[in-house]
Amino acid sequence: MHIHILGICGTFMGGVAQLAAASGHLVTGCDANVYPPMSDQLQAAGIALSEGFDAGQTALKPDMFVIGNAISRGNLLLEAILDQGLPYVSGPQWLAENVLQGRWVLGVAGTHGKTTTAAMLAFILEKAGLNPGFLIGGVPLDFGVSARVGKTPLFVIEADEYDTAFCDKRSKFVHYHPRTLVLNNLEFDHADIFSDLAAIETQFHHLVRTLPATGRIVANAREDSLKRVLARGCWTPVDWFNAFKDGWGVEGDDADGSLVIYDDSGEIGRTQWQLTGVHNRANACAALLAARHVGVALGDGLQALSAFRNVKRRLEVRGEAGGITVYDDFAHHPTAIATTLDGLRRKVGPAARIIAVLEPRSNTMKLGTMKDKLADSLRQADRVFCYAANLGWDAAAALAPLGEHQSCHDDLAALVKAVVAETKPGDHVLVMSNGGFGGIHQKLLNALAA
């Protein structure tokens, strides 16, 4: 089958493209901006790319056009496809019908931690010799790619609640039909497509309805929102993690790198590992329970996690210059910002200075829906710099509770200059954005080195 993918350079659609090519399909695609690193991955997979969405691409005459959810009505190529009555399908539906059909799907859903938990789970299965396929919304350092077909029926997928496509406003994850499902957490996000938390809970309820009675749900015991979802109807056994009782709990110490799992009887396993933060320990507990459902013993799972190296852009050290360490992190929701800062604080200790550099870039942040929670989420930073260009709200006003410890900038060069002027040897500069942030990481390292 020849498929032509619209929006191919997004993380999800790029993963679909690589899975399709590895499965023997002829794959071509287009995007508004064709650039590394995704363009390099796609070209290495033999996938021909076109820049832009000109209607002339219909002349390729693929068997199917696969439409990414970033493609909206008014797109020239999409309009030509509709006008000419050409066959099209959403990315999640194509994936479900052509890659996931007949496989044991392990889905990881939730507002936060999907990428890290899915990477942990895939790595645990890999170390157990189970050779899973996977599609993850980031690049796990232990695999070096975000997607692969795998050699067994097991397939780990990051199950995103964002909508499917212009023609299908259900969440992507309803297409995946998992047998094992992790429900990490659930709070309000994606204000551009959901009116409130109740609307997101309804989508999670729809996901739960697709699980077989012989499947397994692994759910966070400390999330009232998830308990409400399951109370609406659940036909699948539930294993609770992050529990105080009647499930698996998790503890640990960032100072010594310990990760301890316990149940009602007490400690049942422990290891040493590289990750920090309460959130990552909860992610680990979820991944271990999900792996247990496909037969991986707790001890084997813990041994795998002792070697797990995390995902790119999750507290990733981008470099050091002048005694100052620069980190890159994907955090963009206030909860994720707060937990990322907490993890770094636990890692570097109370005496070290953390300089937070934030780009509120997600659709939800641009709308200002979360602006009143932003200052609180940044309180563990010693100094905060915000890139406030193209926002529809006053970032300085939102961060005013931080007093003189914050400043906002509309110009990227001025922001870099201000950060460099503030830093001193021993500082930790934490850059947070769900985009490329204009290459600020290397700009900071170059300026610090100079």
Q: What average pLDDT does this structure show over 50-74? A: 95
d(CA 121, CA 141): 13
d(CA 330, CA 314): 6
**Residue 217 confidence (pLDDT):** 98
User: Which of the residue ranges 92-96, 204-208, 283-287, 345-349 would you say has the lowest mean pLDDT?
Assistant: 345-349
Distance of CA 212 to the CA centre of its chain: 26
How would residue 36 be classed by pLDDT, with cut points 50, 70 and 90? low
**Residue 435 confidence (pLDDT):** 79
- Asked whether the predicted pLDDT for residue 191 surpasses 70, the reply is no
Helical spans, DSSP H, in 9-107: 11-22, 38-44, 76-83, 91-95
When computed from its CA atoms, the radius of gyration of the chain, rounded to whole angstroms, is 22
Helical spans, DSSP H, in 71-113: 76-83, 91-95
What tokens were used for 22?
């590895």
Of the candidates 226, 169, 447, which has an alpha carbon nearest to the alpha carbon of residue 326? 447
In this structure, what are the phi and psi dihedrals at residue 148, rounded to the nearest 5 degrees? -155, 155
Q: What average pLDDT does this structure show over 155-173? A: 93
Give the global pTM. Answer: 0.84
Which tens digit of pLDDT belongs to each residue from 393-405?
Answer: 888 888 999 898 9
Which tens digit of pLDDT belongs to each residue from 328-340?
Answer: 988 878 888 998 8
What tokens were used for 357?
């550099």
- Domains, the chain: 2-91 (3.40.50.720), 102-305 (3.40.1190.10), 316-449 (3.90.190.20)
Percent of the chain with pLDDT over 70: 99
- Asked whether the predicted pLDDT for residue 415 surpasses 80, the reply is yes
**Residue 247 confidence (pLDDT):** 92
Which tens digit of pLDDT belongs to each residue from 63-74?
Answer: 999 999 999 999
- Asked whether the predicted pLDDT for residue 148 surpasses 90, the reply is yes
Amino acid at 61: K
H helices then E strands: how many in the chain? Answer: 15, 23
CB neighbours of residue 350 within 10 Å: 7
- 108 three-class SS: strand
In this structure, what are the phi and psi dihedrals at residue 275, rounded to the nearest 5 degrees? -80, 160
**Residue 35 confidence (pLDDT):** 67
**If residue 313 lies in a helix (H) or strand (E), which one and from where to where?**
none
d(CA 158, CA 10): 14
- Asked whether the predicted pLDDT for residue 315 surpasses 90, the reply is no
- Asked whether the predicted pLDDT for residue 350 surpasses 80, the reply is yes
**Residue 180 confidence (pLDDT):** 98
Cα dist from 447 to 416, 423, 437, whole Å: 8, 11, 16
Which tens digit of pLDDT belongs to each residue from 378-397?
Answer: 999 999 999 988 888 888 88
**Residue 147 confidence (pLDDT):** 93
Which tens digit of pLDDT belongs to each residue from 240-267?
Answer: 999 888 999 999 988 889 999 999 999 9
Of the candidates 379, 427, 423, 386, which has an alpha carbon nearest to the alpha carbon of residue 407? 386
What tokens were used for 160?
């995103």
Which tens digit of pLDDT belongs to each residue from 78-110?
Answer: 999 999 999 999 999 999 999 999 999 999 999
The length of the chain in residues reads 450
Helical spans, DSSP H, in 168-297: 197-208, 224-231, 278-293
In DSSP notation, 392-441 reads SS-HHHHTGGGGGGEEEES-HHHHHHHHHHH--TT-EEEEE-SS-GGGHH
In DSSP notation, 357-403 reads EE---SHHHHHTTTHHHHHHHTTT-SEEEEE-TT-SS-HHHHTGGGG
Q: What average pLDDT does this structure show over 306-311? A: 90
When the pLDDT of each residue in the chain is averaged and rounded to a whole number, the result is 92
